[in-house]
Structure 1
């Protein structure tokens, strides 16, 4: 490990409890030009909340996702919404009772960085749709148009307690396209999985991936300075595009009419990010590059919602806290390329101590099945360094903070009255390596039951039809 990291950890040998985590605080967004197709509604969600009745989970140990732990408590939900959460009490009349018998309850887990459906299993050439790998700026593509709902990874993620996830395009390009937020329910179409009303995001990538991809072809960007020049060119074009639409809208409001500007799919997306309608999700590993991207965001007046992977985020924790930028990180994945070399397991704990909103993400079809273990590993690493992250705060890394990154924290991510009844009943404390998700509720409906027969995807059923016929 780098000497700076060693000294930093040594300085944290005895630390006070972590400060409350900072809320992501984007700058006020200008209204989008009226002439553009509204970014959220171009392809509307058809997701329907499954029918469910009044239910009470009793005798449960509860992590609420708000930083609170309740022992022997009760969670009540009805019609897809949380009704109440609190200490043991008489359940409401007529409620279906689920006796947790001392087991644990959390909000549904949320993965703020996944490629399920766009990089599905089986990962054969005909199925891999994660990167539009032809141009440094592919802001014109939308991840949802690649999502394959039959990816068996969705069910495996449900078995790990994941109820919502953010699907991003890959990191080959400077501007990779639009993200899409999904409810992790079985469906035939992506529209039936889309999280209703969730904002879109813009995937950006810095560092080795774009410069290596295009430099190897004798194209720009071939260097990190070429990467930054590419971002700036894109933002300049997007700002000009937005001004042209705003001028047209102003004239149209006066009845002056005229020809509207020509639609441009790339600039639709980038201008939406400039106004704040799309959340900027930025793949970036090194501390110096994150600082550079923050400078670029200041130049063009947009806000970075989160840096993803961010293995060196601990080096600039005060800067991220001041900017209100979240960090979506791993517990210990590092060293697989140069820009990932200086990662440390204490990253999440150091960031939390500094007041940064931290999420543990997967970027992987296997890690997504064990996000609770990721949180436990990161928590243990912090404790070894003298940073005592309370259990209830570690749970926020895989629930509420991930919801903040997705822009849906007002609707899910914690067990609070009025929020979606996205709930997991665990066999043991979810921060134990032995914990399994016994029941997974999405909007109050059971979408995974460990005691029920496994539910294969349509693709798997098709592959096994010969066996089923026998």
Structure 2
């Protein structure tokens, strides 16, 4: 309808009404933009650091993951943060002193691909909560809603120096759901472990797992081409969902009215990826499949944070570097299924030499206790192939680079002033199979002490087992 200008007197008369007493009512104020209401954060972290005291580890060999090795160095922790690190640092008066002579210090170990708590020990059907394997599209589920904090392997991981983990859904589905970063602290609730400020992630999976799961049931996807078609269809739906919400919020912000679109938890997660708020962690083994998934991400405008397992990543190292995509992998695991047939122990070293951010992950309960040793396997394999990488660089594979995968490298992963005091004191060179994590600190609090095993935490489940056996 075309609007025509009214004469001034008529226009004012139209804006003024007469009240019950005959007095004119005030002219209404013009509409102004009002903020779009925001819902409270769902399932917020309730994590609070454990009590700590100012502590200095002195005269140790230090691998900071931020520079060269420091010999006869000191690390000072206070208020949950690293406040000093170096060879010329003097321990503050009154600090608790720990003698690091002949010992080594690293940042806390970080596992960027874990299923602790969602596939806890003991491994029985009643505990199998990591795969919502009833549909290939389950972006609506959140791993944190399955985490059992009493999983005794959290304690065993802590004994291996693990201070932070990314807990992911399994790989049965194209879209497995959201993952969550947790602090490896004793807890009764998952919220009290949840890493404050860490971004959410979306687990995706390509290759043998989804097509095998659903193809065997006579359902799609039954092939790799069916998987890619499924990804593309889902992203088309997510983009449309995001557009509807953008249009609604824009209208609300300008003072308009209208009913909000109905929330869809799966599309909401995927829309968060398209807006850059949720990080994609993609289970993918073969080089050709990773290249295809990079093309899918470019078609729909999202970014893959890391390819996980990625045993053929060495074949496309340049492509991964150019697209700023990390790799989370193992050193070993050759041939345990067809898509692992070209896995080689030199994978990590080749990627690192090419400038790719690479992390050593676990994916299971035993390896999470020995990520330093798995890194040593990768380091040795590289050196045998003529790729000479220093320990000062390789320590990033189980500290800083996993933090990058998880989007928390500004908070943890290296021994730098101002970062969280997540620290491990090792009995010897951490790349030795004989190294023991003697003392483990999370936010400056001593959470594991090999010299005082009686004082270490045992979950309620362990307390019910003879000698803590599981």
Same fold (TM over 0.5): yes
Q: Is 1:60–1:73's contact at 8 Å kept on the other side of the alignment?
A: yes
| Number of the residue aligned with 1:318 | 318
Q: CA offsets per residue over residues 339-391 of structure 1, 9 Å max, x none?
A: 01100000000001111000000001000000000111000000000000111
| Number of the residue aligned with 1:3 | none
Q: Matched residue pairs, number?
A: 433
- Deviation, structure 1 residue 462: 2.7
Which deviates more from structure 2 when the two are superposed, residues 437-446 or residues 42-51? 42-51
Structure 2: stretches of 5+ with no match in the other structure = 1-34
> In 2, distance between residues paired with 1:422 and 1:276?
28
Q: CA offsets per residue over residues 196-234 of structure 1, 9 Å max, x none?
A: 010010000000000110010010000000000110111
| Number of the residue aligned with 1:457 | 459
For the pair 1:202 / 2:202, whether they are aligned, the reply is: yes
> In 2, distance between residues paired with 1:142 and 1:271?
15
| Number of the residue aligned with 1:401 | 401
Q: CA offsets per residue over residues 422-441 of structure 1, 9 Å max, x none?
A: 00000000011110000000
Q: Is 1:65–1:413's contact at 8 Å kept on the other side of the alignment?
A: yes
Going from structure 1 to structure 2, the CA distance change for 1:386 and 1:128 (only over 3 Å counts) comes to: same
- Deviation, structure 1 residue 291: 0.1
Which deviates more from structure 2 when the two are superposed, residues 145-154 or residues 88-97? 88-97
Kindly report which structure 2 residues correspond to 1:320-399, keeping only aligned pairs within 5 A, or say none.
320-399=320-399
> In 2, distance between residues paired with 1:187 and 1:129?
19
Going from structure 1 to structure 2, the CA distance change for 1:184 and 1:466 (only over 3 Å counts) comes to: closer
SS in 1 for 2:398: coil
> In 1, distance between residues paired with 2:128 and 2:346?
33
Q: CA offsets per residue over residues 38-80 of structure 1, 9 Å max, x none?
A: 7xx3110000011212111101110001132100000011010
- Deviation, structure 1 residue 91: 1.3
| Number of the residue aligned with 1:22 | none
SS in 2 for 1:288: helix
Q: Is 2:61–2:103's contact at 8 Å kept on the other side of the alignment?
A: yes
- Root-mean-square deviation (CA), in Å? 1.5
SS in 2 for 1:178: strand
Q: Is 1:54–1:95's contact at 8 Å kept on the other side of the alignment?
A: yes
Going from structure 1 to structure 2, the CA distance change for 1:106 and 1:457 (only over 3 Å counts) comes to: same
Going from structure 1 to structure 2, the CA distance change for 1:64 and 1:466 (only over 3 Å counts) comes to: closer
Q: CA offsets per residue over residues 249-269 of structure 1, 9 Å max, x none?
A: 011112111100000010011
| Number of the residue aligned with 2:18 | none
Q: Is 1:174–1:206's contact at 8 Å kept on the other side of the alignment?
A: yes
* Structure (1 or 2) with the larger CA radius of gyration: 2
Q: Is 1:36–1:268's contact at 8 Å kept on the other side of the alignment?
A: no
| Number of the residue aligned with 2:13 | none
Going from structure 1 to structure 2, the CA distance change for 1:89 and 1:270 (only over 3 Å counts) comes to: closer
> In 1, distance between residues paired with 2:346 and 2:265?
41
| Number of the residue aligned with 1:27 | none
> In 2, distance between residues paired with 1:99 and 1:350?
37
TM-score (norm 2): 0.90
| Number of the residue aligned with 1:124 | 124
| Number of the residue aligned with 2:14 | none
- Deviation, structure 1 residue 93: 1.4
> In 1, distance between residues paired with 2:37 and 2:215?
37
TM-score (norm 1): 0.90
> In 1, distance between residues paired with 2:64 and 2:124?
40
Going from structure 1 to structure 2, the CA distance change for 1:219 and 1:37 (only over 3 Å counts) comes to: farther
Kindly report which structure 2 residues correspond to 1:20-419, keeping only aligned pairs within 5 A, or say none.
37=39, 41-419=41-419
Going from structure 1 to structure 2, the CA distance change for 1:233 and 1:68 (only over 3 Å counts) comes to: same
SS in 2 for 1:460: helix
| Number of the residue aligned with 2:28 | none
Going from structure 1 to structure 2, the CA distance change for 1:465 and 1:373 (only over 3 Å counts) comes to: closer
> In 2, distance between residues paired with 1:449 and 1:123?
27
Going from structure 1 to structure 2, the CA distance change for 1:203 and 1:336 (only over 3 Å counts) comes to: same
Q: Is 1:59–1:88's contact at 8 Å kept on the other side of the alignment?
A: no
> In 2, distance between residues paired with 1:37 and 1:463?
43
Structure 1: stretches of 5+ with no match in the other structure = 1-32
> In 2, distance between residues paired with 1:206 and 1:461?
40
> In 2, distance between residues paired with 1:444 and 1:306?
29
SS in 1 for 2:245: helix
> In 2, distance between residues paired with 1:448 and 1:227?
44
Higher relative contact order (CA 8 A, sep 6+): 1
SS in 2 for 1:156: helix
> In 2, distance between residues paired with 1:34 and 1:208?
43
| Number of the residue aligned with 2:5 | none
- Deviation, structure 1 residue 34: 6.1
> In 2, distance between residues paired with 1:392 and 1:364?
26
Q: Is 2:65–2:396's contact at 8 Å kept on the other side of the alignment?
A: yes
> In 2, distance between residues paired with 1:44 and 1:447?
23
Q: Is 1:139–1:178's contact at 8 Å kept on the other side of the alignment?
A: yes
SS in 2 for 1:447: strand
Which deviates more from structure 2 when the two are superposed, residues 446-455 or residues 166-175? 446-455
> In 2, distance between residues paired with 1:134 and 1:62?
48
